[in-house]
A and B are shown apart, each in its own frame.
Chain A
């Protein structure tokens, strides 16, 4: 039994979710290898080689991996799989992992398993369905298990204590003319990233406009928090979709989650209910968000949020 973890990184730095995925790989048991593919990904490869319990880090460096497209990574992963015959192939359940792994699975003729939150044994996995309203435990029948891992459901493996061998991944012609990566526009922010932030302040339709999100940014400044939003706020056009927390957006589990003007639709709860402490501020005492919050404040957010900001 052996597992390949597909690392997510920007050539320099690993995504935090890769460390969580590594933990899931170790839970499955057996030999763990990591594949790091990029244009100049030496730093990312060296960084993950320091994690404990990895037998080898395979590195593929080439300009063809610019933009980390599924069309170029898939033949690389298939060549790696052909050589090493892994029983499990894992990636974080991020936009990256969800883009690449199903393409790999189709080529291997196996049914991928998306966004697992638990591992019962090497063939049996736990995941949520219906936006977290039901928990499915399934036994995979395919000989190779292709899996994406929900980062918040597994602890992060520290990048220290180990010294895995760094080898070259199988070489080949991974060039494609099917797709060309043009550009990436990451939302610029001095704030912590949503999926790795310790504190999150999140706004819903109750904010009434995009401009009013300033109230949340002021509060977030005091808490060194990331700012998120419900799908309702995204649908209403208040904020861009990369702020969306929920089953169709990001899944988060910070130490502190402050939900402001969020009613608590099922799809939103699925994205944040694993947070350690949940605070809800909403003027509607019947809002479902109060059923999951540790501290509920029934109040007008336009008064309560500035007051909270000033008193912190």
Chain B
């Protein structure tokens, strides 16, 4: 049976319209609703289902970030993770924290915790990087099953259906492995109130990147964060005939 490590990121809630800071240094995060990265919810759900099917012995949720990352970890615990590890990263270090740093943290924790599987979301909806699973797998020299839409576990191997550009692809990987969850892998459950209460009592350990020997030196300098160019709205047209005329005018038909 496998021990599963799941990476969860606290991000600005997907329903929030983000605002760029006037000094172009980043986006406004203070006082803005945050929640678990939706792709990471799918990763947690998959790990918890593995445990429910007795394919996994334990699910450990990991989050890197400031103290509020613990709220995201509590959500993972309420969904069914057994325990949590908060890797505290705050201030300027958090501003330049990137997948390369997180991958190093996840790789180290996988070894320390003797994990057999690492599952993360395919990308976070804030930086849209889509790198963490691939990099964690590389650092561990494990196979990677990215953009997974179906995961089947057999003895010592995984059969993974992956979402690719023109359709689907099926690969078989050895275990241990690193997986990234795509949209259609599952539908994450909501944490129920009793489970939220129970989650408060589950163990949550705090460590620092330094404890893990991971260097968080920034790899990029943010030059600017700006609003995207606004597309000029055109006109509302009265009927289909006008639309046909416009399409002809534009040389589209």
> Which residues from chain A sit less than 8 Å from chain B, CB to CB?
67, 69-71, 74, 94-96, 98-107, 109-115, 120, 124, 128-142, 176-187, 193, 195, 199, 222-223, 231, 234-235, 240-242, 244, 247-248, 250, 255-256, 266-267, 273, 277-279, 285, 290-299, 304, 307-308, 311-312
Contact = CB atoms under 8 A, between A and B. Distances in A.
B109 interface: no
Contacts of B220: 111, 113, 138-141
B31 interface: no
B171 A112 contact: no
A308 B246 CA distance: 12
A74 B136 CA distance: 14
A102 B243 CA distance: 45
Nearest to B39: A248
Given A130-B18, A186-B167, A294-B234, A103 B225 contact: no
B131 interface: yes
A63 B225 CA distance: 45
B135 interface: yes
B100 A105 contact: yes
Nearest to B250: A277
A103 B172 contact: no
10 contacts: A70-B146, A103-B137, A114-B131, A130-B18, A139-B221, A177-B174, A179-B174, A277-B250, A299-B239, A312-B247
B227 A98 contact: no
Interface stretch (B59-67, B158-166, B201-209): B158-166
Contacts of B125: 130-131, 247-248, 267
B129 interface: yes
Which of B166, B169, B174, B183 gathers most chain A CB within 10 Å?
Answer: B166
A266 B17 contact: yes
B164 A184 contact: yes
Nearest to B180: A99
Given A102-B131, A110-B100, A94 B222 contact: no
B228 A138 contact: no
Interface in B96-141: 98-100, 103, 122-123, 125-131, 134-139, 141
B92 interface: no
Given A135-B226, A186-B166, 20 more contacts: A67-B169, A99-B134, A102-B130, A106-B103, A110-B100, A112-B99, A130-B128, A133-B17, A134-B20, A140-B219, A140-B220, A182-B159, A182-B170, A182-B171, A241-B182, A242-B168, A293-B233, A299-B239, A308-B244, A311-B240
Contact of A242 (B167, B228, B239): B167
B165 A195 contact: yes
B166 A290 contact: no
A99 B144 contact: yes
A114 B134 contact: no
The 8 closest A-B pairs by CB, nearest first: A106-B138, A102-B134, A111-B219, A294-B234, A106-B135, A178-B143, A102-B131, A137-B223
Contact of B240 (A132, A195, A277, A304): A304
B171 A293 contact: no
Contacts of B235: 294-296
B227 to A, nearest CB: 7
B143 A71 contact: yes
A297 B243 contact: yes
B224 interface: yes
B184 interface: yes
The interface size bin for chain B is 35 or more
B183 A248 contact: yes
Contact of B138 (A107, A181, A299): A107
A103 B135 contact: yes
B147 A95 contact: yes
Contacts of A115: 128, 130
A177 to B, nearest CB: 7
Nearest to A279: B243
B195 interface: no
A231 B23 CA distance: 33
Contact of B144 (A70, A136, A256): A70
Contact of B128 (A247, A256, A285): A247
Interface string B38-76: 010000000000000000000000000000000000000
A248 B39 CA distance: 10
Contact of A293 (B182, B226, B234, B250): B234
A102 B99 contact: yes
Contact of B126 (A130, A199, A311): A130
Contacts of A240: 167
A179 B142 CA distance: 9
Contacts of B236: 285, 290, 296-298
Nearest to B142: A178
A107 B135 CA distance: 8
A131 B128 contact: yes
A114 B20 CA distance: 20
B82 to A, nearest CB: 28
Given A129-B126, A129-B128, A106 B231 contact: no
Contacts of A98: 130, 134, 146
A184 B233 contact: no
